[in-house]
Structure 1
Amino acid sequence: MTKQDPFVKNPVEVQKKLVENIAAYPKSARIMHICGTHERTIAKYGIRSLLPDRIEVLSGPGCPVCVTPDDDIDTAILLAKKGLTVVTFGDMLRVPGTEESLFDARAEGADVRMVYSIDDAVKLAEENPDKEIVFFSIGFETTIPTTAAVVRRGLPSNFSIYTSLKLTPPAINLLVQDINVDAFIAPGHVAVITGTVPYEKFAKLGYPIAVAGFESYDILLGIKMLLDQMAAGTSNVENAYLRAVKTEGNPIAIKMMDEAFDIVDAEWRGLGIIPESGYRLKDKYKEYDAAVKYKSVYEDSLNELREIRKKKKKNCICATILTGKATPADCPMFEKACKPTNPIGPCMVSDEGMCHSWYKYCRD
């Protein structure tokens, strides 16, 4: 059972009541969340098993590691193999590119290091002025403000950033055109930064939205709110995470992101290129943009890897799982060739990946 939350005096009773109310909804419903942490909570506490079969909860592209495309992973590997020091978060080290991972490149002698924050990466650059440090920056709106703050503060001359940063609402915009879904659970940690306003356009299109937190009863409350809207024939943005999310979000964080980055088209694994769904450093910071600074270093090799990728046949279905069209159980390699100790695709690498959560919590 979920741990005690200071905002909920009796979580067990709250959850029982929510499950009863959800079970009373008489129709079928397909609800999608866009958050790897939501999926982990759903899998860990067996939330799907508490719901009637007619109510489905689908997992969307809510894991930043999982949606990072092969091109970006290959570029980071190439930079490391060309003699630069590449630093990034731990999960990214093990995600396979076209032929290998950053972890493999490190085993071959490349200077690849794990950090817990961009501040650690900047400190490494300051302590090693003779090295060129590249921070491979991934993430959603939740973590982007920390990168923006460091950029605005000023960076060492031997430091650059390769960005693979994503915005969530544009992905939802693409999903509603391609999948059969009735409503969305919006990610609470993203909404802490952005607020609830970015999701209003989907409510206007007829999709009920509920911003939810990360305890099991938060998820259940979000589902109940969505079903109540569907029963009433309405579509609004509701906030089931009032203890953390404000309508306007965090204006200071939003301002920092706007000052450091331009919004650009970006590639997502499983969804392709989505218009205005990524961040790139503004021109005034381009001397710190690794994609500009080192393009001539990796461009030819990256084109070669793209050709190799076209000829390769992968049995991994991470791309399909990320769009809610399949579950890990549909993958022929799940639990067999693909395990956390030997991940074939990114969904098995990250704690926020659906395959990782299912392997940990949902196996018989």
Structure 2
Amino acid sequence: MKYVDEFREPEKAEALRREIEKLSQQLDKHIKIMEVCGGHTHSIFKYGIEEILPANIELIHGPGCPVCIMPKGRLDDAIAISQNPNVILATFGDTMRVPGSKTSLLQAKATGADIRMVYSPLDSLQIAKNHPDKEVVFFALGFETTAPSTAFTILQAAAENITNFSMFSNHVLVIPALQALLNNPDLQLDGFIGPGHVSMVIGTDPYEFIAQQYHKPIVVSGFEPLDILQSIWMLLQQLVENRCEVENQYNRLVQKAGNQIALEAMNKVFAVRDTFAWRGLDEIPDSGLKIRSEYAQFDAELKFTIPNLKVADHKACQCGEILKGVLKPWQCKVFGTACTPESPIGTCMVSSEGACAAYYKYGRFSTTLQKQVAEKPKVTISS
């Protein structure tokens, strides 16, 4: 397949592996690199990248999964909106099985709520057009990757004067999250593999503070095996040369200044929240997006009464520590035992970008992970 197979060639991967090995020997110390994006985490395990890296190169999995960082309280709010008899709630498939404090959207749907899975916000706008007698609410979430499509949908709804449509905005911003991680004394990182999809929107300029203020290198990466291996090589090259820069491996899609049309739409529709709660990272200032007052008629938080409560995670779940990069998924005491994709306790096991889901799905190919999980004590959770 053109433009895909070229980034999966075994010979080139082996050449990069050898170069990474040489650089790791020059560094002669343990190196921790965080891949911020959940898409990178899945590629790393799908293609066995972690298995071929030198022993002193460790990949740390970051909070770049938008479903995983969603706190229980916001899920409860969405479920509360769906309980209104005149409401159709639309959302992406990944959110359906995420556990709230008492139930999930999928379970709420099973008990009578009209909750529908859609592939884009525009699908939910079409539902509103098809059902003018219903209030249609789109449960919007994601990083800067998906926020533009939400913004364009609100602009379209305004242009067409669709009055029975609104958004429950849970969009978050990657830069404040990275800053929170860098300020965490428990997490000592040597560099970052920067998110590819987010960077297609925001560009590479916003990451300059990582190099300038925190003196850490970052390489924005694509998602194919050669993309990730080359990005690791580029990071190690910076470390060997004692450089701290923002580099762009994904230059076939990512531009320095980002996508100006998408950024303008976001800025027109959204304002930055004073603070937003992230699962595992708690409250992060200036890290969420709310709908501007000019588009208040499309803000579900103003249209409906919601609990708006902060809810603690399950005491057995360690998603928070995994999202901060402090623990690996297999180190969670319920991973693969009480917590599986079929019966998830935490969000990291649910989302297609969740680190726990990646470990669970592809861990059978890793002899190291199999041994680690086999040695874990079996844990059961009482209902």
* TM-score bin, normalised by smaller chain: over 0.9
Q: Relative to structure 2, which stretch is displaced further, 172-181 or 336-345?
A: 336-345
Question: Is the aligned partner of 1:60 residue 2:62?
Answer: yes
Question: What are the superposed Cα offsets for residues 268-316 of structure 1, whole Å, 9 maximum, x if unpaired?
Answer: 111011111111111101111111221xx223xx54xx5xx45x85201
Alpha-carbon deviations, 1:129-180, whole Å to 9, x = none? 1111111001111111111111122341111100110111110001011111
Within the alignment, does 1:275 sit opposite 2:285 as a pair?
yes
Q: How far has the Cα of 1:71 moved from its partner?
A: 1.5
**SS at the partner of 2:145?**
coil
Q: Give 1:184 deviation, angstroms.
A: 0.5
What TM-score results when the alignment is normalised by the length of structure 1?
0.93
Q: 2:176 matched to 1:170?
A: yes
In the TM superposition, 1:89-104 aligns within 5 A as 89-104=92-107
Structure 2: give runs of 5+ residues left out of the alignment.
Answer: 365-369, 371-383
In structure 2, the partner of 1:252 is: 261
How many angstroms apart in 1 are the aligned matches of 2:43 and 2:231? 13
Match of 1:12 in 2: 10
3-state SS of 2:302 partner:
helix
User: What letter is aligned with 1:160?
Assistant: S
SS of alignment partner, residue 142 of structure 1: coil
1:266 lines up with 2:276 in the alignment: yes
Cα distance per residue 1:244-266 (max 9 Å; x no partner): 11111111111111111111222
Work out which of the residue numbers 190, 194, 202 in structure 2 matches 1:186: 194
d(CA) in 1 for partners of 2:4, 2:51: 26
SS of residue in 1 equivalent to 2:287: strand
Give the match for residue 338 of structure 2: 337
Q: CA RMSD in A?
A: 1.6
Residue correspondences, number: 353
Q: Distance in 1 between matches of 2:181 and 2:154?
A: 32
CA-CA distance at 1:36 after TM superposition: 0.8
Q: Distance in 2 between matches of 1:48 and 1:176?
A: 23
% identical aligned pairs: 42
How big is each residue's C-alpha offset from its partner over 1:80-114, in whole Å with a ceiling of 9 and x where there is no partner? 12322211001101000001101111111111111
Is the 8 Å Cα contact of residues 125 and 165 (structure 2) preserved in structure 1? yes
Q: Structure 1 residues 111 and 34 mapped into 2: Cα distance closer, same or farther (>3 Å)? A: same
CA contact (8 A) 2:136 2:164 kept: yes
1:4: how far off?
6.5
Contact 1:95 1:101 in 2 (8 A): yes
1:23 aligns with 21
Letter in 2 for 1:145: P
Supply the AA of the counterpart residue of 2:163. Answer: S
**Partners of 1:4 and 1:11 within 8 A in 2:** no
Aligned to 1:352: 353
Q: Report the Cα offset of residue 343 of structure 1.
A: 1.2
Alignment of 1:227 with 2:236, yes or no, is: yes
1:106 paired residue number: 109
Where does structure 1 lack aligned partners over 5 or more consecutive residues?
none
Query: What SS is found at the alignment partner of 2:342?
Result: coil
Change in CA separation of 1:127 and 1:239 when aligned onto 2, cut-off 3 Å: same
Is residue 140–residue 166 contact of structure 1 (8 Å, CA) maintained in 2?
yes
Conserved in 2, the CA contact under 8 Å of 1:162 and 1:291?
A: yes
Q: Indicate the residue corresponding to 1:87 in structure 2.
A: 90
Identify the residue that residue 298 of structure 1 maps to in structure 2: 306
Per the TM alignment, residue 322 of structure 1 is displaced from its structure 2 partner at its CA by 0.5
Structure 1 counterpart of 2:379? none
- Distance (whole Å) between structure 1 residues aligned to residue 10 and residue 48 of structure 2: 14
Shift of 1:335: 1.3
SS in 1 for 2:170: strand
Gap change, CA 1:176 and 1:111, over 3 Å in 2: same
What is the CA–CA distance in structure 2 between the aligned matches of 1:192 and 1:103, rounded to whole Å?
A: 32
Alignment partners' CA distance in 1, 2:204 and 2:123: 31
Q: Counterparts of 2:18 and 2:204 in 1: how far apart (Å)?
A: 28
Give yes or no for contact 1:192–1:245 (8 Å, CA) kept in 2: yes
8 Å CA contact retained: 1:211, 1:240: yes
In 2, the alpha carbon distance for the partners of 1:258 and 1:334 equals: 40
Indicate the larger mover: 76-85 or 52-61: 76-85
Specify the SS of the correspondent of 2:317. coil
Query: Partner amino acid for 2:294?
Result: K
Q: Deviations over 1:30-85 (max 9, x none)?
A: 10011011000001111111111211110000111101111110000011123222
Greater shift after overlay, 26-35 or 118-127?
A: 26-35
Letter in 1 for 2:216: Y
Q: Does residue 318 in structure 1 map to residue 316 in structure 2?
A: no
